[in-house]
Amino acid sequence: MASKLAGERTAKVAAATRAYVTLLAGDDGESFKAVVRLAESLRMVGAEYPLAVAVLPRVPESHRDMLASQGCIVREVEPVYPRGNQCAMASRYVVNCSKLRVWEFVEYERMVYLDAGIHVLENIDELFELEKGHFYAAELDPPYFNSGMFVHEPNVVTATALLDALRVTPPASFLEQDLLSMFFKDQYKPIPLDHNLVQAMLLGHTEDLQLQKSVSLWGEKLPQFGCWLTAKAAVFAPQNLLAMATIAASSAAVGVIHNAANPAICFGFYTVFIAAIATITIKLRGM
């Protein structure tokens, strides 16, 4: 059974040896709402395992209480400061590097890390059944992978080694992603891009969209692509989130209905999706 550690606030959920995990770093409302949406999306797809939320010290008590009431397991962690953190991008580096703390959640045998901006559209519990002893993430340009979603096995030795490696790693645009790619180069195994697809892939590889389970949408303009609704999870930018989701649904429906063999089925799916967006909108306005 999972032990209750200091600084951890546990909602009324059954102890588990597996969990989804995300990071909440600040006191801004947008980041908090993103985590709430992630938790809600996991519930909507019937995820078997709870969502653990690693929170930095500046996260308000009210936000922690709200997450616990939503069934999340809230645990405070100390921020991780990278080498040379006096640079202009220091605050972003602290947020990104603090996700390394999820390796310290040793009461869990396996976890699936999800960036807070992810919205899960379909059950992804199968990720917990992957062969043990490896680090799994969606591939970018080999040997690099996308660190916005990964499957890991918490371990004190690994956690310490990662923090030690960070201390000698110079700042880079994607610091924690570069670090993880180097650190796990021998243990890494790719999972299909359909679990965590970046928006740019939609523009350059539209032929692969039939199998998408996860889509990263960055920026305010969305392309019209017909198979977006087959995604299992989507990463939305914090700006204009609801507008982006509605535009995405509309663009997707237009493309799907235009290209699909059975437009009636696609139109029905589109209608359900719009209803879900409307429900989320009402809930967020009430927060």
- Catalytic residue ranges: 99
Question: Could you report how far apart the first and last alpha carbons of the chain are, in Å?
Answer: 34
Q: CA 52 → CA 42, 62, 202, distances in Å?
A: 12, 17, 30
The CA distance from 99 to 176, in Å, is 8
Query: HSE (CB half, 13 Å, CA atoms) of 247?
Result: 13
Contact assessment for residue 117 and residue 235, using Cβ atoms and an 8 Å cutoff: yes
Query: HSE (CB half, 13 Å, CA atoms) of 219?
Result: 6
64 three-class SS: helix
For tokens 């299909």, name the residue: 192
Parallel/antiparallel/unpaired status of strands 197-198 and 145-152: unpaired
Of 284, 195, 279, the closest CA to residue 234 belongs to 195
Phi, psi of 151 (to 5 degrees): -110, 125
